[in-house]
């Protein structure tokens, strides 16, 4: 009896596999056309190679899997990738819509250059001009203090995270803050205040209760 049930079960599995294979070969499940929005010309080759590798599997793959695989190839630069499939008698139209992350600062780790968005997500993309620069020892350090550093970066041109202090550059003035773990709301508000005051000084040390102006 057990042998008969095993044979029936195996037969069902084979039948399902064959049926799935035959369905996948149906002409109306062929990819007729890709319509792509949100990808630059220099990124198209990577996308085309990925789509060629997938073939008609893209008709069945979950959108999240496509997003994860593609975004890994593109350095996590897309916030989401929408995959819309339109089935017709002639084949499947695949609409791919890419939403790019918007950088708020440049991150420099040694020789490595990255971008970071307002959610604190680090990614790789073309470097736009006129963004503040955050300098850190490693990306793990950035993740642990991300929101704090982003607030500082919105006020400055350059932020360097050092073991014992944070150095902020705005125009020609250098601001010295305590080490990043000791920076709280008070220190951030003081920094914002002195930057807006635009004091005539080369260096302003904010590590003391009464900050020091060094002309």
Region 186-213: what's the mean pLDDT?
84
pTM: 0.77
122 closest CA partner among 83, 71, 160, 164: 71
What would the pLDDT profile of 27-72 be if each residue is shown by its tens digit?
Answer: 546 878 889 999 999 999 999 999 888 888 888 888 999 999 999 9
Report how far residue 115's alpha carbon sits from residue 100's, in angstroms, rounded to the nearest whole number: 12
Instruction: Report pLDDT digits (tens) over 150-183.
Output: 889 989 999 999 989 999 999 989 999 999 889 9
Identify the burial level of 22 via C-beta atoms within 10 angstroms of its C-beta, where 0-12 means exposed, 13-18 middle and 19 or more buried: exposed
Sign of dihedral through CA atoms 19, 25, 26, 29? positive
Q: How far apart are CA 8 and CA 91, in angstroms?
A: 35
């Amino acid at each position: 009896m057990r042998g008969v049930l095993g044979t029936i079960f195996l037969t069902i599995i084979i039948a399902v596999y064959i049926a799935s294979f035959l369905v996948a070969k149906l002409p109306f499940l062929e990819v007729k056309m890709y319509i792509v929005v949100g990808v630059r010309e220099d990124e198209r080759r990577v996308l085309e190679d990925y789509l060629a590798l997938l073939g008609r599997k893209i008709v069945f793959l979950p959108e999240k899997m496509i997003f994860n695989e593609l975004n890994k190839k593109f350095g996590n630069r897309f916030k989401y990738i929408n995959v819309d499939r339109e089935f017709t008698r002639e084949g499947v139209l695949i609409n791919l819509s890419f939403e790019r992350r918007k950088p708020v600062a440049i991150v420099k780790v040694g020789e490595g250059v990255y971008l970071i968005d307002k959610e604190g997500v680090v990614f790789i993309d073309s470097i736009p001009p006129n963004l503040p620069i955050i300098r850190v020892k490693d990306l793990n350090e950035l993740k642990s203090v991300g929101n704090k550093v982003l607030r500082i970066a919105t006020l400055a041109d350059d932020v360097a995270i050092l073991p014992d202090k944070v150095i902020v550059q705005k125009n020609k003035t250098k601001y010295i803050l305590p080490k990043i773990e000791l920076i709280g709301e008070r220190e951030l508000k003081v920094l914002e205040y002195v930057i807006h005051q635009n004091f005539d000084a080369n260096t302003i040390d904010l590590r003391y209760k009464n900050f020091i102006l060094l002309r």
